[in-house]
Amino acid sequence: MVEEGCFRRNLYCRLATFPIPCRRGEIFARCAVISERADAAGAFFQVRGEAAVLENLRTLARA
């Protein structure tokens, strides 16, 4: 998973790469998706959410 981050009012913004197939529905349900794209390497999401939620998604991405 690749990510970049910035802090804003208890929410974090991340650019995350998930392998295909990813848990797209869970990502949309648990945080605000700012942008999304996909290629052969995986699905790329720019999301905003609480730190604990983003950490959990990071763990899922490694599984």
Quick check: pTM over 0.85?
no
pLDDT of residue 21: 62
Range of the domain at 16: 5-62
In DSSP notation, the chain reads: ----EEEETTEEEEEEEEPSS--HHHHHHHSEEEEEEEETTEEEEEEEE-HHHHHHHHHHHH-
Q: List the structure tokens of 44.
A: 């790329």
pLDDT tens digits, 2-61: 444 554 467 777 777 776 566 788 889 988 888 888 888 788 888 888 888 888 888 877
Q: How many domains does the chain have?
A: 1
Determine contact, residues 15/46, Cβ cutoff 8 Å: yes
